Amino acid sequence: MATLPPVLASQRATRVHLPNSTPAVLRCPDGNRVAGNLLVISIAGGMLRLSQPLDPNTRASLMFLCDGGPVLGKAEMLSPLSRTQQAFRFVALDQKYQRNLQLGIQSHLNQSSDQDRWIAKYRSAIIPRAPSQSGTLKIVFGSVAFGILVLISVACFFHFQLLK
């Protein structure tokens, strides 16, 4: 497995908050398996929801399936954030799995931008707009034309009444 390049402090990896429950499995060096769900993922690491956190600095194989394909890598557990949430960082990730992870992250980012475009389109459709200048002119000309038609109809009515 290839080791990951160190992430510079000024260059933070793109994080994706996963909207759906993504199952993950940790295989510890002693053979124990711990099931959990991914909450946040990036190319450098992420956060898991576990029934019970592992000791910090524990290294384990992490396996999960993302939109880019399966991901299998070595992860180091960081300090737990709560009784059920624990952050981790990748310490080794094969190039194939790294590509799968990047594709999965990009897929989630694209879904978010599609959702943002849809929301913007929906909002623009429901926001009431002021009538345009051309719309006002159509109403005025239509009213004038209707008025002229009524006057002509009245004149014709009286004209034919006088002929009888």
Rounded to an integer, the average pLDDT of 149-160 is: 83
Q: What is the pLDDT of residues 130-153, one digit of tens each?
A: 656 667 788 888 899 999 998 888
- The pairing of strands 59-66 and 45-50 is unpaired
Question: In this predicted structure, what is the pLDDT of residue 20?
Answer: 79
Question: In this predicted structure, what is the pLDDT of residue 3?
Answer: 56
Query: Of 28-32, 86-90, 139-143, where does mean pLDDT reach its minimum?
Result: 139-143
Question: In this predicted structure, what is the pLDDT of residue 132?
Answer: 63
Question: In this predicted structure, what is the pLDDT of residue 154?
Answer: 84
Question: In this predicted structure, what is the pLDDT of residue 121?
Answer: 72
Model confidence at 8, in pLDDT bands (50, 70, 90)?
A: very low
**Average confidence score pLDDT of the chain:** 84
Count CB-CB contacts under 10 A for residue 108: 19
Q: What is the pLDDT of residues 39-80, one digit of tens each?
A: 999 999 999 999 999 999 999 999 999 888 999 999 999 999
Q: Please tell me the distance from the alpha carbon of residue 63 to that of residue 67, in angstroms, as a whole number.
A: 14
Q: What percent of the chain has pLDDT over 90?
A: 48
Delimit the domains of the chain by residue range. 16-114
pLDDT surpasses 90 at 94: yes
Question: In this predicted structure, what is the pLDDT of residue 16?
Answer: 87
CATH 2.40.10.220 fits 16-114, yes or no: yes
Question: In this predicted structure, what is the pLDDT of residue 111?
Answer: 73
Which spans in the chain are helix H? Answer: 95-126, 133-163
Angle at 52 between CA 26 and CA 66, to 5 degrees: 40
